[in-house]
Every structure is written in structure tokens, then in C-alpha cells.
Amino acid sequence: AGALGELVVLGIVRATQDRARRREITPEAVPDEVASALENRGTSSLRPVLNATGVIIHTNLGRAPLSAAAREALQDAAGHTDVEFDLTTGARSRRGAAARAALLAACPAAEDALVVNNGAAALSLATTALAQDREVLWSRGELVEIGAGFRLADLVTATGVRVCEVGTTNRTHLADYTRVLEDDGGDDERRIGAVLKVHTSNYRVEGFTAEATIADLAGPCRAAGVPLIADLGSGLLHPDPALPEEPDATTALEAGADLVLTSGDKLFGGPQAGILLGRAEIIGRLARHALARAVRADKLTLAAIEATITGSEPPVLASLHADPEALRDRTEHLRDALGTGDVVPHDGRVGGGGGAGVPLPGWALRLPSRLAGSLRQGETPVVATVRDDACLVDLRCILPEDDEHLLAALRSALGADEEDSR
Ligand SMILES: *Cc1c(COP(=O)(O)O)cnc(C)c1O
């Protein structure tokens, strides 16, 4: 009770008694079950899990795991910290100055940077500040629905921005944009507040397709005096050879985007955040907008963003770049230690917000599908993929130092399985 709090202990005692009442356990087993539940209980009910799906950015599993440096930064910033205070002068300072400086050092193509709550907040803030009561010009091929039924167009229109759709599902040409931009303005006030390019991060349109690129749009946008926003989703700051089709902030800014938006917990590999990079004048307008205060990042996020950049390679990039041969060795090692299962080819995926449809060749340990449930419910929960009546354990997203925990979890699930079959 001292460590976890009385309410937590009481909750566990009651839940265990209820299990006895439902005859799931015997009344005599209650004290032992309570003791083991208390032992396994962390200070929050969120439990660390091993992601054995091979999907690097798994939104249901908390997206990017933080680097060691970012975890340490969270600890350091957890108490009082100088997030908005200058220790030299004793005066108030710019909030999150260190995270901003780290972002600008990592992405020199940007004049300024701002960190907000998440990618959706970045998009809402950008379109509201630049186009409230006006319209954003947006290709019909890029009206993305992200997870859980949320649609980016609904997010944008929620703050009184209207959407001016151009083109079709499969083809949108530069002329579709320029026709609207050239008709706009004149003697009347401008109707278009911004042009928005959205990375179709979770789907691909193939076949008879056409799009206007950021480089195509930059000139006409500049001529019309309308800012060009690029929502990149995935969070790469630089091109990554492993994902040649994936957009990155540096290339987008160099191609002429005035503002790029990315998520912090996708391929950037950090905490949940929205990262805005771009022209100083535009970032300044966004930072001064009333909505900026409603979506601002907390001190923990700012600390973790900085450390994600300055620390060693974040785990998402290590998983992305994992050598298939090394994955095969680890998987074979696991099979040998377990004495069961087959090592089979298994493609990993980038997952939410990047690399749609791009397979990442790798390997998995194939086990009977009935093990998946006990793996999920073990002391160290392991989430694997169930497909074709098999449970596929993929090591791509498991840190090598966690291999022994994975082995222990697999042994315990196999042990429970044997007991059941007896
Ligand atoms: C993921 C994504 C978002 C939303 O970002 P969150 O950080 O999840 O809020 C917006 N746009 C695109 C293109 C995305 O991929």
C-alpha cells in the first residue's frame, strides 16, 4: 500500500475475490493471486509489452519506443526544471528553447521550429492560423483518414477553415491548383489561405495517377503569396535509403514548402508530438496564435524530443535498418533455445504513418496460433502476429537486450500450453 497506494491494492484484492466468486480460481488461491498481481503491478496500469509483430510504428502499442537518452531526459525533467527559465539571468526564457535548437541543428533547411501536442494539433494550428474563415487548397487524392475513423479534412474544418478540393482521387495536376490560385484575389480579398500537400502515409494509389509535387507547387504558391504547407506524417528529417519513397522535412523545405508538419512518435522515433519546421515568419505567426497555447507541448515531451535528436539512433530507426541476416540469426537462436518452432521468412512493416505497402524483409519464429493468447497474458506480455493459423514471433522491433525476456516469456507460454494439453 505504501508503494502503490491503498486504492490500487484494494482494487486488486476485490478483482481477485470476484474471480473466486466466478469460480475462475479457488477461494484458497486468493492470497497468492493477490500477492503475485501486486508484484507484477507497476506504478501505473500501463504495462511494458514486447512488440513481436514486426510492425515498427504500432499505434496500439504506443508507437515509437524511446531511446535510452530520451528515457533519461524524461526522468531528469520530471521534477522542477528550467523549461521556461534562464538560470544565468534568473528571468523567464523562451519555452523549449533547447528542443528548438536541437531541431534546427538537425534540420538546417528550417529557419524556425515549434513543437506541439501531436501531428493532428500541428495541422489544426497551421491551417487555423493561416486560413481561418478562408480555404485550404487540397487534392482529392490526399484527403486521408488516419486511425480510428479520424479524417484530416474534418480536423481542418473543425476550426472554421473550409476545404477547396481539386483534382480527382487518382489524378491531380498542377493546373488544378493554379487555376484556383490565379482566379483568387484580384480586387477581392483572398479566398485561399494556404495550399496543403498531405503525404498519403497509410495507403498508395497505383496505376493511372498524377500529382503535383512540392517543387511543382512552390513557384505558383510564392507568386500568389499563399503559403505551402506539407503534412509529411512520418517524421523523417532527412532522406532514408531504406524508404526511398518516404518524404522528409529537409527535402520538402528545400523543394519550397513554407512549413512542414510531422509527428514526433513515428519515424522521428521520439515522444508523441507535432513538429513544425519552416519559415520563421510563419512559425512566428503560429506560435502567437491563441490555439498554440491549447496544443503546446509539455516539459517531458520537449526534453524527450531534444534527447531523441542528440542521443544515439532511436529504436525505430534501428528496427527499420535491421539486417535481415542478423534477424535470422537471432530467430534461429531463439528456436534452438526453445527447441521448437520453424524459422520462416516474414516481412516487417513501417506501420502507422509511413512506408505504406513497403515490405521490410525479415524472419519470424512460427509457433501454433493457440500460443498467442498466453503470450499476451504472460508476466511480460508479448504481442505477436496471428496469421494462417500460426503465431508469428518477429524480432525486428525487439531490442537485442530483450531477447532473454522474450525467451522466458515464450518458455512460460509453452509450459502453460503443455500443462493444458495434459
Ligand atoms: C499520423 C498522421 C497525422 C496525425 O499525426 P498524430 O501525431 O497521430 O496526431 C497527420 N497527417 C498524416 C499524414 C499522418 O500520417
Tell me phi and psi for residue 408, to 5 degrees.
-65, -40
* Cβ atoms < 10 Å from Cβ of 122: 28
pLDDT per residue as tens digits for the range 294-344 = 999 999 999 999 999 999 999 999 999 999 999 999 999 999 999 999 999
pLDDT at 360: 96
Q: What predicted TM-score, i.e. pTM, was given to this entire model?
A: 0.93
pLDDT at 309: 98
Q: Say how many Å lie between the CA of residue 146 and the centre of ligand 1.
A: 7
pLDDT at 42: 76
Alpha carbons 278 and 63: distance in angstroms, whole number: 25
Low-confidence residues in the chain, pLDDT < 50: none
Q: Point out the ligand 1 atom lying closest to the alpha carbon of residue 232.
A: 13
pLDDT at 289: 98
Ligand 1 pocket residues where CB is under 6 Å: 118-120, 123, 144, 146, 152, 198-199, 201, 231, 233, 263, 274, 353
Q: Say how many Å lie between the CA of residue 271 and the centre of ligand 1.
A: 13
First to last CA, the chain: 39
Nearest to 48 by CA among 69, 74, 66, 72: 66
Please check whether residue 271 is in contact with residue 65, taking contact to mean a CB–CB distance below 8 angstroms. Answer: no
pLDDT per residue as tens digits for the range 249-272 = 999 999 999 999 999 999 999 999
User: How big is the CA angle at 236 (ends 231 and 237), to the nearest 5 degrees?
Assistant: 95
Find the farthest-apart pair of alpha carbons in the chain and give their distance in angstroms, rounded.
Answer: 84
